[in-house]
Structure 1
Amino acid sequence: IVCKETDFNMADSKVDLSKIPLIALNVKVRKKLGLYLNPKNTVASDWRTVAEEMGFSYLEITNYENCKNPTDEILKNWQAQNTEASVGKLLSVLTEVERTDVVEELRDLIDEDVKKYIEFMKKKDDPPVQVPEVDSCVPRTPERLGITLADDPDGAPELFDAFICYCQSDFNFVHDMIQELEHTAYKLKLCVFDRDVLPGSCVWTITSELIEKRCKRMVVVVSDKYLESDACDFQTKFALSLCPGARSKRLIPVIYKPMSKPFPSILRFLTVCDYTRPCTQSWFWVRLAKALSLP
């Protein structure tokens, strides 16, 4: 089994899976991994052996035994704690513990997830589609220079303290956030897509440019509707790919109302700023402002 490369063709070259972060694997693959590894197996290696190979201690592994899906938990925590956690490394671990049966069974699904991830990330580097000039207008501002209201084509690009990732149904809370963080003593500068971004440009190109180069951090407003938003999913995964394990504290999840759906697993290892708890609500904006004010 070759664990570093996969056989599907991307621009006539093989893909180095050691460069693909573990976050590329979706829920379906993770669930199937659990089906193979969660049951205690006296013949083949189970999740405990995999966790040991990943570097987890005996005490940590013992605690994971109380989890409903220990395989999923070790994947999430391995991803959060280890800079080398990648799809390629996971396949190497499975091969090392002699679970090549799992590698073979999931290879097609993993290849599909990796391909989708690469295509998703590639959008940030693709130039906008060009159309022939049909008028005599003056040259337009290059997209990456003139993407926000305050951008000066002849000066430095507009910079922000944080990019706000939200869905439209949560905009009222985003409006409150603007009032509390921008129009108070904190004087923070937030990037709110509907307010600050000029219309008419490629959404994927703009958001990746803003998140990676214009904003120090990203606030993720998590709600039931957030879980259904493709745009929010892209923005979150892109930001996480820039800071595996969130060691730079780049992402800050925020919950402002009770949720009926499970909290997204890709954000579970991050400290949440919770507005739903009355006992800590008075500290909410202070904590968030302090986190966004860090260098």
Structure 2
Amino acid sequence: MACVDTDVDLWTIPLVALNMTVRKKLGLYLNPKHTVAADWMAVAEAMGFTYLEIKNYEASRNPTKSVLEDWQARNSDGTVGKLLSILTEVDRKDIVEDLRPLIDEDIRKYQENLKKKAEPPLQVPEVDSCVPRTSERIGLTLEDDPEGAPELFDAFICYCERDFEFVHEMIQQLEQTDHRLKLCVFDRDVLPGSCVWTITSELIERRCKRMVVVISDEYLDSDACDFQTKFALSLCPGARNKRIIPVIYKSMKRPFPSILRFLTVCDYTRPCTQAWFWIRLAKALSQP
């Protein structure tokens, strides 16, 4: 077992450095009442606790643990050095001698953790990857130019397979009309051969301005849709940039997903507003 540096000033090491093993062993030594050796009460008195406080600690299953925690919380001088001094003062050098190797090991680990926190991070300061830098993020879609700029879209369409008929209608209404929007439809636009999650996150975060989520009972059972929705939500906390647009196109038997309840919904199931549905959706997707 490695020993602590002999130059370490134990009076500067906070009591938090001692792990549960040492604290439990202290309890094994001090919790039992002794007629000839000092117990936890003598230690608590030396720590400055009052008679009434000590009497209240008697109700604790592990009074030594409670005393140490409270002393650590209320005293700036609650250090390892001070604790060892108190144990010596109450003539419990046997505890100090027995536990010193464990205490030294805890201090060593504590100091190592402090050094790790003080060291600069291993990654370079610039961690943003605004431009795709790996081959798996190049040539993702049909019109991607590996030598040029990546293909960009107005919206990523999040849908499950059973809702593709409505997605096909969405393509006709938004791409093949005067709206001239460019939608990213995974089954149509994405090339095979790459990791699905890598492609999806790249498209949602960097290639598409917004995401249309086609909500249905089937959507609620789709792991892919769940990932896409949660990933997009993580990019726009509180919907600050209106990135996600939920769409309902048929009645549902199950509750609307709770994570999207705070967003304004584009509802195709309402006959009174159905005539405005595509115009509203197109306008939302055309926003800068």
TM-score by length of 1: 0.52
Deviation at 1:269, TM superposition (A): 0.2
- Hey, what's the Cα distance between the residues in 2 that align with 1:185 and 1:259? 31
Residue 55 of structure 1 is matched in structure 2 by: none
- Give the match for residue 219 of structure 1: 212
Q: Could you tell me which residue of structure 2 aligns to residue 231 of structure 1? A: 224
Deviations 1:10-51 (A, max 9, x none): xxxxxxxxxxxxxxxxxxxxxxxxxxxxxxxxxxxxxxxxxx
Paired residue for 2:273? 280
Deviation at 1:231, TM superposition (A): 0.3
| Secondary structure of residue in 1 paired with 2:136 | coil
Verify: 1:263 aligned to 2:256, yes or no. Answer: yes
Q: Distance in 2 between matches of 1:201 and 1:280?
A: 41
Answer with 1 or 2: which has the greater Rg. 2
Pairs within 5 Å for 1:58-207? 142-207=135-200
Q: Partner of 1:278: helix, strand, or coil?
A: coil
Q: Which residue of 2 aligns with 1:21?
A: none
Amino acid of the structure 1 residue aligned with 2:158: C
Deviations 1:225-280 (A, max 9, x none): 00000000000000000000111000000000000000000000000000000000
Q: Distance in 2 between matches of 1:189 and 1:196?
A: 11
Quote the Cα distance in structure 2 between the aligned partners of 1:170 and 1:176: 10
Instruction: Choose from 241, 250, 257 the match for 1:248.
Output: 241
Distance 1:237 1:143 in 2: 22
SS of residue matched to 2:282:
helix
**SS of equivalent to 2:135:** coil
Shift, 1:142, TM fit: 2.0
- Tell me, in whole angstroms, the C-alpha distance in 2 between the residues paired with 1:202 and 1:247: 29
Equivalent-residue separation in structure 1 for 2:234 and 2:222 (angstroms): 18
Q: Percent identity?
A: 83
**Matches of 1:188 and 1:260, distance apart in 2:** 32
Distance between the aligned counterparts of 1:151 and 1:205, measured in 2?
16
CA apart distance, 1:143: 1.9
Number of residues of Structure 1 aligned to a counterpart in Structure 2: 156
CA distance in 1, matches of 2:240, 2:145: 33
* Secondary structure at 1:143 match in 2: helix
* Alignment match, 2:113: none
Deviation at residue 148 of structure 1 after TM alignment: 0.2
List structure 1 runs of 4+ shifted beyond 3 angstroms: none
Show the counterpart of 2:285.
292
CA RMSD across the alignment: 1.1
Deviation at 1:169, TM superposition (A): 0.1
Structure with more relative contact order (C-alpha pairs < 8 Å, separation 6 or more)? 1
Instruction: Return the alpha-carbon distance in structure 2 between the equivalents of residues 179 and 234 of structure 1.
Output: 26
CA distance in 2, matches of 1:201, 1:153: 15
- 2:265 counterpart letter in structure 1: V
Match of 1:131 in 2: none
